[in-house]
Structure 1
Amino acid sequence: MTAAIEVPVIDCAGDPFTIGHQHGSRLAGRLRAFLDDGLCRLDRLLPAPVTAAGLASDIAAYRHAITAALPELATEVEGLAAGAGITVEHAWLLQIRREIMGYRRVPTWGDCTTYARLGSGAHPTVLAQTVDLNGDLDDQIAVLRISRRDSPRKVLLLSFAGLLGYLGVNSDGLAIGLNLVLGGAWKPGVPPYLAIRHLLDTCATAAQALDRLHTIPLASSRSLTLTDPVDSYCVEAVDGAIHTVAQGDSIHTNHFLHPGAAPRDELNVFARNSSIRRHAACATALAALPPAVAVAAHFDLLCQPPIRIPDHGDMRRERTVGAVVLLPADRRLHLRPGDPALTETLTFQL
């Protein structure tokens, strides 16, 4: 195992514009370099190069939809642009980058493995997952600690490349993880990453988050695992429908599990086989894991093959760029940035 990778920790507090400005100003150089790197590396992932001008209509459509649904986060995007010294259009592109890639133009090879394990007695509830992405994004990891002026609730968030949301835990003990699932129509709406941030901003429990999720016009398909110290829901979202896969302990990879969503699955055969293998391997490893284990044991599980996806040297293919263990009751986020088999654990707490 190597020495720990340095991860920027950004404390953001105030109104939405100020929070965005603090985020953007702290990462200004890195975000501008990322935008200059083949337009957020999209040129190296998509079949043909793209330009901000060529994406203008897409950016405008998503901006309109997100502003209508989540106006406070739209204001935060404006603050991000001002703080980073980038255009507002570029700040919006950072939020919708995965939506622009879609799933028909970018073949998917593998993605995250997530599990929730409810605690009992002295054994805490755990939400753990690998973070598997293409684009070599481990150099874009940051951790945000967010305190909104109008709310006593605080949010601890893992972020990539200026994203206002990805996964995390809040001061009420609500933790949220996610998996890519592919199906239905991807269209202008709220990217699931921003939906997760909104849920962490506004909800105290997994049940509240599930209710609120039904009201958000999601742009694309995803699986979310909503967990608090005593309850958990694993859900799949596709074409405006939210399907609850499990309440309590759950495992999710990248194929649809709910019978109402499974017919919509468009995962390619190679990725589907990988997803099924990882799901089975995680189930076997969890069954052998005693209730009372340290955080390190969960990371050991996430590092097992085929759950951990190594670097194959192809930026277009997903690989494990981090692993996270969330303890909702302790409001802690444990992170191994980069390849989790090679890096040390960093711990963040609200």
Structure 2
Amino acid sequence: MSPRTHLRVEGTDPRRRGHDRGRRTGAEIARTWRTYSELFEVAAAARGVTLDVPALALRCLAATSAWSPELAEEIEGVAEGAGVPLWVVAALNARTEILAVAGTPRGGECSTVVRTGPRALGGQTWDWHEELADGWHVQSVRGDTVSFTGITEHGILAKIGVNEAGVGVLFNILGHMDDGADGVPVHLVARRVLGGAESFADAIDILSGAPVSASTVVTVVTADRAACVELSPAGVAVIPPDETGRLVHTNHFIDPALAAGEFRGRAEPETYDRARLLNERLRDGHRLDDADDIAALLTAHHGDGAEVCCHPPVDAKLGARWATLATIAVDPEAGRLMLHDGGPCTARPSTWTTISAR
């Protein structure tokens, strides 16, 4: 595999920062959009609905503009730089919301683990469609309130990362019966945390005030604190570590009130199997001291009781080819992210790439 692109974006003007991103990744954005366009069609056909993707995307962009005009300007800059319609970049950033409208189950997704203490450490698998294995890059962004680094998909402003203030963000999709596509995209909420939060409290405030229309859990990790923040149009819940100082989150709500409107867990009960397996391993004394420990914890397949590390069936079609595209660990105290390109079962000490936000 060729080295993963590391995009470095700088500038205090959001539109110019976006224009630079779009100009330098225009071909990749166009390719990624073609794949998402097909995914939207497959999702809509499976449910028998018609998706007006441009309208949905622009509604989410309008909500973003009202909440954070700078992020909307940056998206406009990306579209200008890439030479694509504005609604295309808006749709990429709102891909979670658009897929929520389609309402199709997704047989797999991300698993997150965190150890708090004197020096917190967090990590996750990023599981997504195998067709998008070349649809993402590493990024380092400077020019906002704080600089940050992480990974994201082409055309999407942010996803998983850590900033120079030592605020780390991990990311799992959830599903609620009230989900739709008229709020701020969850990926842009993560972007605002990464570029604007200078403390744990800042991150919680940003997340708690975000007017989202689709559900996700953003796990915030700082040097000495962590919490899973479940976001939904039905409300927000902050999930603290357990009595051992650990957090495990997969793709269902933990908060009882939000769980009453659960969609994904009902459609995809394997999320409970993953959470149960990871919690059992931690109770049995599995260490979480470094990135290799995280990879070992997350290495689990069907024969182990849950598929934490995803491998797509050979005969699966578009929309069902789930793969673990990346394994990530964040060390907030050092302001660094460790990345393995692929699933945790293939991670070795020599395969980690370390990227610093400082």
TM-score (ref. length: structure 1): 0.89
Indicate the residue corresponding to 1:174 in structure 2. Answer: 167
Pair 1:347-2:354 in alignment: yes
In structure 2, the residue corresponding to 1:230 is in which secondary structure? coil
Pair 1:13-2:10 in alignment: yes
Pair 1:281-2:277 in alignment: yes
Q: Which residue identity lines up with residue 139 of structure 2 in the other structure?
A: L
Q: Which residue identity lines up with residue 66 of structure 1 in the other structure?
A: T
Q: 2 CA distance for matches of 1:329 and 1:169?
A: 10
Identity %: 24
In structure 1, the residue corresponding to 2:345 is in which secondary structure? coil
1:157 CA drift (Å): 2.4
Pair 1:138-2:133 in alignment: yes
Higher helix share: 2
In structure 2, the residue corresponding to 1:235 is in which secondary structure? strand
Give the 5 Å matches for 1:1-350. Answer: 5-14=2-11, 15-37=13-35, 39=37, 41-47=39-45, 54-102=52-100, 105-120=103-118, 124-134=119-129, 136-148=131-143, 151=145, 153-187=146-180, 188-247=182-241, 248-267=245-264, 269=266, 271-272=268-269, 274-287=270-283, 288-290=285-287, 293-305=289-301, 306-313=307-314, 314=316, 315-317=318-320, 318-342=322-346, 344-350=351-357
**Do the aligned partners of residues 100 and 177 (structure 1) sit closer, same or farther apart at CA in structure 2, a change above 3 Å counting?**
same
1:70 CA drift (Å): 1.1
Q: Which residue identity lines up with residue 59 of structure 1 in the other structure?
A: A
Q: Which residue identity lines up with residue 323 of structure 1 in the other structure?
A: T
CA contact (8 A) 1:78 1:88 kept: yes
Q: 1 CA distance for matches of 2:194 and 2:2?
A: 26
How far does the alpha carbon of each residue in 1:23-77 deviate from its partner, in whole angstroms, 9 at most, with x for none? 1122111111233347264334441799x99423222211211111111011111
1:166 CA drift (Å): 0.9
Provide the aligned length of Structure 1 versus Structure 2: 339
Q: 1 CA distance for matches of 2:38 and 2:331?
A: 32
Q: 2 CA distance for matches of 1:16 and 1:40?
A: 30
**Do the aligned partners of residues 230 and 35 (structure 1) sit closer, same or farther apart at CA in structure 2, a change above 3 Å counting?**
same
| RMSD between superposed Cα atoms in Å | 2.4
**Do the aligned partners of residues 214 and 49 (structure 1) sit closer, same or farther apart at CA in structure 2, a change above 3 Å counting?**
closer
1:300 CA drift (Å): 2.0
CA contact (8 A) 2:43 2:103 kept: no
**Do the aligned partners of residues 259 and 270 (structure 1) sit closer, same or farther apart at CA in structure 2, a change above 3 Å counting?**
closer
CA contact (8 A) 1:326 1:334 kept: yes
Indicate the residue corresponding to 2:304 in structure 1. Answer: none
Unaligned runs of 5+ in 1: none
